[in-house]
C-alpha cells in the first residue's frame, strides 16, 4: 500500500512538472512557426505538389539551406508536424523508406497568394511585437496602465512606429490587410444577412477600405463609406466604389443605415468605447427603420465549447493588452452597449474565435 501511494505521489509530481514544462516550452511552437515562415517551407512543399522530402524542402527554401542544416531541419519539421502545421508520412520506394512532409489545412493558409495569412502571422511573431512581453511582469508593477507595455518597450505606440519606420509600416499594413481580407471573405458568405436590406454603411476606422470593398463587391446596392483619420484617408485608393471620409470617430460619424466596427473597440477602454458607440447611435436611424451597428470582434467564452477557441481568445486578450486593448465577454459587451443607450443586441458566433454582434438602437 505504501509503495502504491509513493508511486502515485511521484506520478503526480511528474504530471505537475510536465504541465510546467509544456507551458514553459510552448513559445518554441511560435518560434518554429516563425522559422517556417522565414524559410518559406509551406511554399517549398507546395512547389513540389503538396508533398516533399527534407532535401526537397531544403532546396526550395528561401534562402536555400546548406546541406549541413538538413538534420536540424528534420528537428524543426518534427515540431511543426507534432503541432499540426504540417503532416508527415513514410513513403517506400526502391531506395527504402523516406519521410515525406505535406500541407495541412493550417499550412495551406501560409502558401503564398492573395489568401495567404503569412503577413498577419509574420507581424504577430515579429520581434517588435514579441519583445514587449519579456517585460510583462515589470509592467504589472506600474501603478498606472500608461505607458502601455508596447510604449514601455519601444518608446512609442505601434501606430507611431508604423508612421516612422517604413519597413515595419509595410509589414504592419500587409498584416492588417491580409487578416481583413480573410475574415471578410467569410463574413459576406456566412453572415450576409446582416447586410441585406441596407442601403448604406460606414466602416469606422476602416483604414484603406478592405472590409468596405468586400461588402461593396458582395452587395453592390449598398453604398459603402470609410471613416478614418485624415492622414489615412489621404492614402486611400482612387479608383474604387467606396467613398473615403476624413474624420475622427470620437467627434462625429457620418450618417448611414448601419455602422461597421471591425476590430475597433478592442483597442479602447470602456469609457472610450461608450463614446464611440454613442456617436454610432447618432449616425443611424431607429431600429424600425433598419438602423444598427455591426461589430466584428471576439466574445470571450462565447457559445463555443471548443477548448482551443477559448484558449485562443484568452491568449489574444492578454496579447492585445500590450497596447492597453481588451477583449470582452458577453456581460462586458452588454455593459458598454446598454450604457451607450442601445436597446438590444444579438451575437452571431459563426466566425471561429470571432463573432458578429448586431447592436440595435
Chain segment 221-256, per-residue pLDDT in tens? 999 999 999 988 888 888 788 999 999 999 999 999
Q: Average pLDDT, stretch 322-341?
A: 96
pLDDT, averaged across the chain: 92
Per-residue pLDDT of 180-218, as tens digits, reads 999 999 999 999 999 999 999 999 999 888 899 999 999
Crossing angle of helices 70-82 and 27-39, in 10° steps, is 120
Reported as a single tens digit per residue, the pLDDT across 78-121 is: 999 999 999 999 887 656 678 999 999 999 999 987 789 999 99
Cα torsion angle, 347, 350, 352, 356, sign: negative
Where residue 302 falls among pLDDT bands split at 50, 70, 90? confident
Distance of alpha carbon 314 from alpha carbon 307, whole angstroms: 11
Torsion (CA) 216, 218, 220, 222 in degrees, nearest 10: -60
CA-to-CA distance for 186 and 354, rounded, in angstroms? 11
Query: Which residues face 345 on adjacent strands?
Result: 359
**Which CATH number does the domain 6-109 belong to among 3.90.105.10, 1.20.1250.20, 1.10.10.10, 2.170.190.11?**
1.10.10.10
**Active-site amino acid positions:** 266
Cell of 333: 459587451
The domain defined by 117-360 folds into: Rossmann fold (3.40.50)
- In this prediction, residue 51 carries a pLDDT of 94
Q: How far apart are CA 289 and CA 182, in angstroms?
A: 31
Q: Please, are residues 121 and 30 in contact by the beta-carbon 8 Å criterion?
A: no
Which secondary-structure segment (H or E) carries 140?
helix 136-140
Residue 78 near residue 101, CB atoms below 8 Å: no
Please state the domain extents for the chain.
6-109, 117-360
Which residues neighbour 231 within 8 Å (Cβ) at sequence distance 6 or greater? 163
Amino acid at each position: 500500500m505504501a509503495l502504491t501511494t509513493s508511486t502515485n505521489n511521484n506520478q503526480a509530481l511528474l504530471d505537475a512538472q510536465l504541465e510546467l514544462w509544456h507551458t514553459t516550452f510552448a513559445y518554441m511552437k511560435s518560434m518554429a512557426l516563425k522559422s517556417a515562415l522565414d524559410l518559406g517551407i509551406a511554399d517549398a512543399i507546395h512547389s513540389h505538389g503538396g508533398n516533399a522530402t527534407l532535401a526537397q524542402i531544403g532546396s526550395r527554401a528561401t534562402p536555400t539551406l546548406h546541406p549541413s542544416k538538413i538534420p536540424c531541419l528534420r528537428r524543426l519539421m518534427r515540431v511543426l508536424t507534432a503541432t499540426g502545421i504540417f503532416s508527415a508520412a513514410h513513403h517506400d520506394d526502391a531506395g527504402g523508406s523516406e519521410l515525406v512532409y505535406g500541407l495541412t489545412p493550417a499550412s495551406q493558409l501560409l502558401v503564398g497568394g492573395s489568401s495567404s495569412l503569412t503577413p498577419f502571422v509574420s507581424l504577430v511573431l515579429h520581434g517588435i511585437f514579441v519583445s514587449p512581453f519579456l517585460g510583462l511582469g515589470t509592467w504589472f508593477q506600474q501603478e498606472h496602465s500608461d505607458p502601455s507595455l508596447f510604449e514601455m518597450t519601444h518608446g512609442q505606440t505601434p501606430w507611431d512606429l508604423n508612421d516612422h519606420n517604413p519597413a515595419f509600416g509595410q509589414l504592419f499594413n500587409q498584416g492588417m490587410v491580409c487578416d481583413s481580407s480573410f475574415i471578410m471573405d467569410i463574413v459576406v458568405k456566412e453572415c450576409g444577412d446582416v447586410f441585406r436590406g441596407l442601403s448604406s454603411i460606414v466602416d469606422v476606422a476602416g483604414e484603406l477600405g478592405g472590409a468596405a470593398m468586400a461588402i461593396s463587391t458582395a452587395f453592390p446596392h449598398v453604398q459603402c463609406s470609410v471613416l478614418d483619420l485624415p492622414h489615412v484617408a489621404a492614402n486611400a485608393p482612387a479608383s474604387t466604389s467606396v467613398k473615403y471620409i476624413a474624420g475622427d470617430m470620437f467627434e462625429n460619424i457620418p450618417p448611414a443605415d448601419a455602422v461597421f466596427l471591425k476590430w475597433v473597440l478592442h483597442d479602447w477602454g470602456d469609457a472610450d468605447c461608450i463614446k464611440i458607440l454613442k456617436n454610432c447611435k447618432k449616425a443611424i436611424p431607429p431600429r424600425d427603420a433598419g438602423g444598427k451597428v455591426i461589430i466584428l470582434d471576439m466574445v470571450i467564452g462565447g457559445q463555443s465549447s471548443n477548448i482551443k477557441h477559448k484558449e485562443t481568445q484568452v491568449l489574444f486578450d492578454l496579447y492585445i493588452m500590450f497596447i492597453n486593448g481588451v477583449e470582452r465577454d458577453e456581460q462586458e459587451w452588454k455593459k458598454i452597449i446598454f450604457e451607450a443607450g442601445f436597446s438590444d443586441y444579438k451575437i452571431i458566433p459563426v466566425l471561429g474565435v470571432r463573432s458578429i454582434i448586431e447592436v440595435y438602437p
